[in-house]
Structure formats: structure tokens, C-alpha cells
Amino acid sequence: MSQLSLPLRLFILAVLAFSVLYALPNVLTAAQRQNLPAWMPDRAMTLGLDLQGGAHLVLEVELKDVMQRAYENLEDQVRVLGREQHLGYVNLRTVDDGLELVLRDPAQLAVLRQSLAREGVDIATGSDGEVRLTYGDSALQEMRRRALAQTLQVLRSRVDQFGVAEPVVQQQGDNRVIVELPGVKDVARAKAAIGKTAQLTFHLVDDSASNGTVPYGEMMLQEEMNGVKRPLVVQKRPSLTGEMLTSASAGFDQYGGPAVDIAFDARGTKIFAQLSTQNIGKRFAIVLDGKVYSAPVFREAILGGRAQISGSFSTEEAQDLAAILNAGALPAAVHVVEERTVGPSLGADSVKAGTLAIAIGLLAVLVFMGIFYGLFGIAADIAVVANLVILVAVMSAMGFTLTLPGMAGMVLTLGMAVDANVLIFERMREEIDHGKKPFAAMVGGFQGAFSTIIDGHVTTLVAAVVLFAVGTGPVKGFAVALTIGLLASLFTSITLVRWMLLSWLRWAKPQSLPV
């Protein structure tokens, strides 16, 4: 503790040099950052939603849709099983929480059990061959987990497609997702694009169905042409789905209106070719989230695996739709349960207020330490400034987003930065009161306060880690700033201040310590 080794002194200088370089872009304008030499970092801290404006959305995922689709797929599986295993049944139907059917031969129940053994399906039987199929709790829980994970992935991809800088997409609870879009000005457009389920399906149209009558295995949708809606009966099971898309791009149809050109993968191309070849002269409906966008006629076989979605939408809507289709469909519908918008002017006011708070806090700490501890207080002041520079540099280098609570964390660390020095200086005074010489009193001050400093920083660090682990959004920003500030203050108090004071002591050789 009496002196610092050469490697440690070089390490301190390296940390300070790194900090100055990475903190510098934060005090430069965008034009000045662009003119920096190539070897210098030019990345400033990214401002969070509350500092630059934008939208904060909480989306709720309709997991019931996932369950319904799972039982519809199970129904298809049972139909395939019936054909392959010669399973006789009647009255097969999907209900809200299961699948029901009646076996013609109850003895075939063993075939059904064996075939569905790996699907996590519970089978209950009743009288006269009645069978009810339901997914078990573990299977349902796994479906919900996968659906939520897929929702997060698709939403992140959609946000990236719209070019939002430093977005936040994270899970909240069992069925909610938080989406933060800093800098977004058209919140309504972003909300509509991000929240669209984007389930794209292609259905053959049954033009022979009479008005008001929907045959079994078909459903009625609404087709809108020139502002007029009319019923359209289509096959319930889609012939093709958006999962087989490889790309989507905004373009124009043959009449010059906005459209979206889509291309299928190899499997989709084959299915689309068969569909168009076998149904020349018939119509097929292009349906997105239950809405018919267009229902063109197959004039000829389409072998290239390409199609076009046209309808009454603007160029912006066509671009958004292409971006959504490229990002993929959500596994279930989502709806906004909470929305908060921060205007750019309010964000600018928050930046000014936060900066002013940091400046006032820093000045107050510097003045306090100078008054109460004199020359040693000046050394502590230098460490406080270094601590702030290190904090800004690390947050810039690691790409952390600065929020208003994060700025509060920075103000808090200014006080924490001198707390360790106060403990050291007070311990030095105790050593002097016990009659020790200046050098021994200084060494004893650092040694005696060391364990207390570590205890104080560790306990606060534990709280910061817990805040980061369980908190969301702004709370995480506060925890990040507090954690980095704590580590920086620990570094400056036990290395930088000690180096400065020991160097002064060896140079000045005072008879007493001015503390």
C-alpha cells in the first residue's frame, strides 16, 4: 500500500487515456465527430426514449389464437391419420379447448393413442365411441413459451426493418411485450405496422356458393372493391401460407397503383404452380389477417413462384406491408394495452434538466471536498471528474442507452465517488490523532478504510444488480449507470487518489498532513 508498482501506474494512465478518447465524442457535434481521425472513436451515447422522444408500447399476445391453431393442426393430423391408418370416425370438430370425434369402432382407440403418444395429447373417452383430445399442461406451456419467443423475434425483426435506432423489445410477464421506439415521429404508423399479425394465406374462391350459404369446409370473408364490400366464400383451409415466402417488395400493379410483389420458396413455388395449373379460370383470394386484399383469376399456370398483392392502400402502406412480410408473421394477434408517447421537445427539456442536475451536483461535490479537506480535497475532486469521464466513456464504448433515470444514476455516483475518499481522509485524521507520522498516517488511512470501502460498494452493487435483473426500461438504465459509476469510483479512490497523494508526499515531505 506504500507505493504503486509501475504496471499499475501504466494501467491507470491507460484507463484515463481510454476514457478521455471515448468520452470526447459526447461533447462534440455530429459534424465534428464525422471529421475525427479514423483511429479515434466517434460514437456518442445513445439517448433513450425519455430523452429524445418516441413511443413506448406494451403489447399483449393473444395466446388463445395459438391454442386454436394448435387444435386446428391436430384436426388435420387426425384426418391424415384416418386416411393412412383406416381410422373410421364421424363428427370431427375443433372446439374452444379441444378436439372431438366419434369413433365408429371403439376398438381403434388404441391406434389413436399410439399415433398421438408423442404429441402431448390427453385422450378422454365417453359412451358410444366419443373421444375428446386435449393438450396436456406441459404441452400447452411449451406452446405458449414458443409463441412468446417467436413473437419477440418477429417484433425485433420488424423494428429493425423500420430502421429504429436502439429499440427495446423485451418480455414482460407471461403474455406481454414491451416495445420502445426512440426517435419515432409517426407513432400511429409504427404501431399499426408492428402490431399487425401478418398471417398471409391464399384460398381458392367458391363462386358457386349461393348468398348466405357457406358449405362445410368453407368460410365467408369480405371482399372490398372500389369502396363496396361484398361477401366472398373461400375454402377454410388455405392452399398456401406466408411461411413459404422468401421475399416481399413494394411495387406497382398493372394500373399503376401501389402493390407488393412476393416470391415463394421452392416448396411454395411447386404448390403455387400446381394450384394455378389445376384451377385455370378460377379465382383465388389473397388474405392478410382475415382481410381479402385481392381475388384475381388464374389466367394461366404460374410456374415462377411469384405473385402480387394489390389493393386500396398507399405507397407507404405497401412499403410497410413488404417490411412486415419480410419480417415474418406473428404466431398470434397482439393488441396495445398501454401506450406512452414522448415528444422531442419534452425529451430536449429532459436532457437540459438532467445535464444541469449533473453539473450542479458535480460543482457542489467539488466545492464541499475543497472546503473540508483542502489539498486532499482537490485530489478527490480530480478523482470525481475522472470518475465521471470513465462512466461516460464506458457507456459510450459499450453502446448503453442513456435515459433520464440513468442520468439520476450518474448524479448519485458523483456522491458515491467521494464517499470512499471521505472514509480514507477521516481515517487519516484518526491516525494523526494517534501520533503517527505523515507517511504512516497516509498508509494507515488507505489500509484502514479499504475493507469499509469494499463493503459499502459491494452492498450498493448488489442492489444495482438486482435492479438490472428484475427492472425494465428506465430502471435498467439507472442500474447500469449506478453499477459503472460504483466500479469507476472504487478504481479512482483506491488507485488514482493514492497515487496522487503518495507522489505529493514523496515530493513535498511535509511535517503534517493538510487533511
The CB-side HSE value for 312 (13 A sphere, CA atoms) comes to 9
C-alpha cell read off for 247: 421475399
Q: Say what the pLDDT of residue 326 is.
A: 77
Question: What is the percent of the chain where pLDDT is above 90?
Answer: 5
Q: Tens digit of pLDDT for each residue in 251-271?
A: 888 777 888 888 888 888 888
Question: 110-115: long-range contacts (C-beta < 8 A, 24 or more apart)?
Answer: 111/81, 111/85, 111/87, 112/78, 112/81, 112/87, 115/81, 115/85
Mean pLDDT of 120-134: 85
Mean pLDDT of 189-216: 77
Is pLDDT above 80 for 206?
yes
Q: What angle do CA 350, 383, 395 make, to 5 degrees?
A: 45
Dihedral of alpha carbons 341, 345, 347, 349, sign = negative
Within a 10 A sphere around the Cβ of 37, how many other Cβ atoms? 6
C-alpha cell read off for 57: 408500447
Nearest CA to 390 out of 10, 11, 22 is that of 22
Q: Exposed (0-12), middle (13-18) or buried (19+): which is 24, by Cβ within 10 Å?
A: buried
Is pLDDT above 70 for 210?
no
8 Å CB contact between 457 and 490: yes
Q: Say what the pLDDT of residue 162 is.
A: 65
Q: Exposed (0-12), middle (13-18) or buried (19+): which is 371, by Cβ within 10 Å?
A: exposed
Nearest CA to 63 out of 145, 133, 169, 155 is that of 145
Q: Tens digit of pLDDT for each residue in 331-374?
A: 778 888 888 777 766 667 777 888 888 888 888 888 988 888 88
Mean pLDDT of 21-37: 86
Nearest CA to 425 out of 515, 296, 302 is that of 515
Within a 10 A sphere around the Cβ of 223, how many other Cβ atoms? 19
> What is the residue-wise DSSP string for 315-369?
HHHHHHHHHHHHH---SS-EEEEEEEEE-HHHHHHHHHHHHHHHHHHHHHHHHHH
Integer distance in angstroms from the first to the last C-alpha of the chain? 19
Lowest mean pLDDT among 23-37, 229-243, 278-292, 330-344: 330-344
C-alpha cell read off for 513: 498532513
Query: What's the pLDDT band for 15 if we cut at 50, 70, 90?
Result: very high
Q: Say what the pLDDT of residue 389 is.
A: 92
Beta-sheet strand order (sheet of 258-264): 245-252, 258-264, 306-310
* Separation of alpha carbons 467 and 369, rounded Å: 30
Beta bridge partners of 172: 176
Q: Tens digit of pLDDT for each residue in 446-497?
A: 888 888 888 888 888 898 889 888 876 678 778 888 889 889 988 998 889 8
Q: Say what the pLDDT of residue 75 is.
A: 84
- Which residue segments constitute the domains of the chain, with CATH numbers given? 6-51+344-508 (1.20.1640.10), 63-141 (3.30.70), 196-341 (3.30.1360.200)
Q: Exposed (0-12), middle (13-18) or buried (19+): which is 234, by Cβ within 10 Å?
A: buried
* Separation of alpha carbons 346 and 340, rounded Å: 13
8 Å CB contact between 425 and 515: yes
Beta bridge partners of 60: 176, 335
pTM: 0.60
Mean pLDDT of 306-334: 78
Query: What's the pLDDT band for 13 if we cut at 50, 70, 90?
Result: very high
What's phi and psi for 294, nearest 5 deg? -160, 155
Q: Say what the pLDDT of residue 166 is.
A: 66
Are β-strands 54-61 and 334-342 bridged in parallel, bridged antiparallel, or unpaired? antiparallel
Cβ density class 48-60: b for 16+ within 10 Å, e for less: bbbbbbbbbbbbb
Q: Which residue has the cell 390427453?
A: 122
Nearest CA to 384 out of 419, 355, 333, 339 is that of 419
Query: Average pLDDT, whole number, for the chain?
Result: 83
What's phi and psi for 321, nearest 5 deg? -65, -40
Q: How far is CA 27 from the centre of its chain?
A: 29
* Separation of alpha carbons 155 and 143, rounded Å: 18
Q: Find all residues with CB under 8 Å of 312, minimum gap 6, and list them.
A: 224, 227
Q: What angle do CA 256, 327, 402 make, to 5 degrees?
A: 115
Helices 344-397, 474-491: axis angle to 10 degrees equals 40
What's phi and psi for 258, nearest 5 deg? -60, 140
Q: Say what the pLDDT of residue 297 is.
A: 84
Mean pLDDT of 112-136: 84
Query: What's the pLDDT band for 16 if we cut at 50, 70, 90?
Result: very high
- Show the 3-state SS of 117-148: HHHCEEEEECHHHEEEEEECHHHHHHHHHHHH
Q: Tens digit of pLDDT for each residue in 74-102?
A: 888 888 888 888 888 888 888 878 888 88
Which residue would you say has higher pLDDT here, 420 or 415?
420
Mean pLDDT of 211-226: 77
Residue type, 49: L
Question: What is the percent of the chain where pLDDT is above 70?
Answer: 95
- Show the 3-state SS of 93-120: EEECCEEEEEECCHHHHHHHHHHCHHHC
* Separation of alpha carbons 289 and 199, rounded Å: 5
